[in-house]
Amino acid sequence: MEHWRPADVAWEEAPAEYFTGDVLFGPVRNDGVLNILAVSFEPGARTDWHHHPEGQVLYVTNGAGLVQNEEGSAVEISTGDLVHAPPGEVHWHGALPDSPMTHVSHTTGGATVWEGRKVSEEEYGSVAGGGRSPVAESGY
Ligand code: MN
């Protein structure tokens, strides 16, 4: 059995070519099968559009943010929430304009596939412009 505490995570800058804003990676464990990666977004920061060959599970550990897929449905997420992106579903995730957000990503099936396009200010503003709704208490 292995066990990690938050202080065990060695944060590093995420590659700017695939993100907008300030984003840190916190690698937890990658054995080539299961990749567990904490990702911390400053307010307004987000991924580019991408997908995961075998899907992705996100567990939000701090703050509040957004996930959106290509069909346009954006969902606000906050501490304690879990998200599953099915295999191949094109999407992005990131922080709200007025809150940081940290999630732990769990993927199998190899590297993220980047679509080659940023989440524009217009796209982001269209789903993040409505202000933040009250954050429910975590049920976990
Ligand atoms: Mn993703």
Q: What is the DSSP letter of 14?
A: P
* pLDDT tens digit sequence for 113-132: 999 999 999 999 999 875 44
Ligand 1 geometric centre to CA of 118 (Å): 13
By the CB criterion, residues less than 5 angstroms from ion ligand 1 are: 56
Ligand 1 geometric centre to CA of 68 (Å): 10
Q: Which residues contact 34 (CB under 8 A, 6 or more apart)?
A: 106, 107, 108
Ligand 1 geometric centre to CA of 140 (Å): 22
Cα dihedral sign for 75, 79, 83, 88? positive
Ligand 1 geometric centre to CA of 112 (Å): 7
Give the model's pLDDT for residue 130: 56
Give the model's pLDDT for residue 133: 46
Confidence band of 5 (pLDDT split at 50, 70, 90):
very high
Ligand 1 geometric centre to CA of 123 (Å): 17
Ligand 1 geometric centre to CA of 105 (Å): 8
Ligand 1 geometric centre to CA of 5 (Å): 23
Cα dihedral sign for 83, 50, 38, 86? positive
Is the model's pLDDT at 135 over the cut of 50?
no
Ligand 1 geometric centre to CA of 50 (Å): 6
Ligand 1 geometric centre to CA of 26 (Å): 15
What CA–CA distance (Å, rounded) separates 111 from 114? 9
Distances (CA, A) of 89 to 53, 54, 58, 94, 98: 8, 9, 14, 16, 27
Give the model's pLDDT for residue 4: 95
Is the model's pLDDT at 134 over the cut of 70?
no
Give the model's pLDDT for residue 73: 80
Q: Would the pTM of this model clear 0.85, i.e. be above it?
A: yes
* pLDDT tens digit sequence for 55-114: 999 999 999 999 999 997 899 999 999 999 999 999 999 999 999 999 999 999 999 999
Give the model's pLDDT for residue 103: 98
Average pLDDT over every residue of 36-40: 98
CA angle 41, 2, 102 (to 5 degrees): 10
